[in-house]
Structure 1
Amino acid sequence: MATDIRVMATLRRMTPADLPTAHDLSREAKWPHRIEDWEMMLALGDGQVAVIDDTVVGTALTWRFGADTDPAKAATIGMVIVSPAAQGMGIGRRLMEALLGEVAGRSVMLNATEEGLPLYRKLGFVETGAIVQHQGAAFAVPVAELIPGERVRPLGAKDDDTLHALARAATGMDRSALLDAIVPGAQGVMLTRENEPVGFALFRRFGRGYLVGPVVAPDAGGAKALISHWLGSNAGAFCRLDVPEDSDISEWLEELGLPQVGRVVTMVHGPVPVTDPTTRLFSLTTQALG
């Protein structure tokens, strides 16, 4: 019977008409994404869906960073979901193989749940770290202790190129198109030291509440100054951050009232993107987008 169903499952490109069903699948998986989050992610990338009897039973999305001629061209894969009723039929593997074919020649990254790890390992992904999810409502956030010459200021109209450069340094990827898409719908601040921009943080609607990310800074102290700005000015709001496990800010977030509620494994297929050690990513745009 399983063989018959596997033959019946077909793959095709995801379209905006698939988003309501995709949203239902993510809710079934207890993921917090709103339909607006799905719309944004599909607009920025490409997706595949698995269909049985005209019903979407699986999804997967990919996003390209950098032109095909960029030596540092990369991609991420996320929102890989298979309905519980259709699991065990090889659908997840077929979706992944389809997307890997589309981004062949690029370094490909993803953040894997415990359930997805065996498949991704079989496909050639290797572990490079982990991301821990913090969420909650901070009601009393101390004013950040800035070092001499340090300042947190609002993003300006002329900061786009600086954001692009800082994001590329921190991730090893050209994130310009992503930032250009999300900045207009977000609030943002820049961290400067001696009037030189060294980091930034965005604050925007996502899932159950708000997301602080991406956050780029030269060190944990700078990241705390940026994050404190958003948590302090939105006291009591439900906020989420997805931070690298080795970022040295998890314990601090716990103390502020944002406990760790989840963990995913960061994996790469191909070379690891080369980042600038003086500029670090302290909170992701989303787990799927990186």
Structure 2
Amino acid sequence: MKLKPSESLKIDAFSMRIGDVQDVDLDRLHALSLSVGWPHRAEDWQFLREAGQGFVALDEIGRVLGSAMWFPHGASFATIGMVITSPRLQTLGAAQWLMKRVFDKVAERDLRLNATRAARRLYLSLDFQPEKTVYQCQGVVHAAGSPGVEKADSEVRRLRAQHVPAIIALDAAGFGVRREALVQKLFDQSVGYGLFDGSALRAFALCRPFGRGHVVGPVVAMQDADAIAVVRPHMADHAGSFLRADTHMESGEFAAFLSHSGMPVFDTVLTMSMGKRLADFSVGGPAAPMTYALASQTLG
């Protein structure tokens, strides 16, 4: 899409100017996400700033009134997230103005984002196409009972640094794009469990601090039982605490497991794409890794 970005935008009775998300104090970014009810802490914003790039919309006295970020993976793909405008500007074109700036930076890339209900009309107008619903599952968890793996030669173990190359490879197979730098960064801030057949990693789940508690993701596995096996230890680790997972799985054993463990569906967003669609919606049988839980709605 050919869109010419401008450096400033006249809105209502005042003007906005563009700024770099890296140059803004974290407390002002945190205040922006709080203004729309998003759970991101200042620490979550800092993680995203280290993982990606972005713009902010500033008024004449430097208040942050909007944001938009992108997270490139290689030369041909990026996810878009943290597209926020303060409530007073949400019908005045500020989000589209920010998105035009983002398009200028991600030209020629295939794009994916997760749209809230309020933002879907905007993304449809920008030629994003709907793909699949994301179910935001969250709540105070309790340790689940029955085991998730029946094969005698399978073992769930804590993931260590030497497993990162295998995690990156399995994530790429499930997601559809290699995200080496992001997965390494996620691993550094997470506790992870993997399902092994001997020395071969066949499923994994990472869990890190986020928002009101912790988020489980990404989770990549070849079948529901394997995904359950690597998420179950996180349930035990955080029993009695708030846990969240964002999944495309509407039904089946994995979705039921989340609900029965104290994480019912709280909300939904819609995955939308521009250009090539990726592989993580496949149901290609037991030999095809799938993304059972996203790293986050922002990161995919």
After TM superposition, give the deviation of residue 3 of structure 1 in Å: 5.7
Unaligned runs of 5+ in 1: none
Which of 82, 85, 94 is residue 82 of structure 1 equivalent to?
85
1:1-290 → structure 2 map (5 Å cutoff): 5=12, 8-53=15-60, 54-66=62-74, 68=75, 73-148=76-151, 149-246=153-250, 248=252, 249-274=254-279, 277=284, 278-290=288-300
TM-score of the superposition, structure 1-length normalised? 0.92
Q: Tell me the TM-score normalised to structure 2 length.
A: 0.90
Structure 1 runs of 4+ aligned residues shifted over 3 Å read 2-7, 274-277
Contact 1:217–1:282 under 8 Å retained in 2: yes
Cα separation, 1, equivalents of 2:56 and 2:11: 19
Instruction: Provide the secondary structure at the position in 1 that maps to 2:156.
Output: strand
Distance (whole Å) between structure 2 residues aligned to residue 285 and residue 154 of structure 1: 18
SS in 1 for 2:39: coil
* C-alpha contact 1:129 1:245 (8 A) present in aligned 2: no
The AA in structure 2 aligned to 1:203 is C
**What is the aligned-residue identity percentage?**
33
In angstroms, what is the RMSD of aligned CA positions?
1.8
Closer/same/farther in 2, CA of residues 82 and 6 from structure 1, 3 Å limit: farther
Per-residue CA deviations over 1:183-239 (Å, capped at 9, x if unaligned) read 122111111235421111111111100111111111111111111111023211210
What amino acid does structure 2 have at the position aligned with 1:88? Answer: T
Question: What CA deviation, in whole Å up to 9, does each residue of 1:80-103 have, x standing for no partner?
Answer: 110012222211001111112211
The question of whether the paired residues in 1 share the 8 Å contact of 2:11 and 2:92 is answered with: no
Please say if residues 18 and 56 of structure 1, whose CA atoms lie closer than 8 Å, have aligned partners that are also in contact.
no
Matched residue SS, 1:144 = coil
How far did 1:156 drift?
Answer: 2.6
Which letter maps to 1:212? V
Q: CA deviation at 1:75?
A: 0.5
1:6 Cα shift? 7.7
Structure 1 counterpart of 2:164, which letter? Answer: D
The number of equivalent residue pairs is: 284
Distance in 2 of aligned mates of 1:145 and 1:283: 17
Residues 135 and 250 of structure 2 are in contact (CA less than 8 Å); yes or no, is this contact kept in structure 1?
no
Name the CA distance, whole Å, in 2 between partners of 1:4 and 1:270: 31
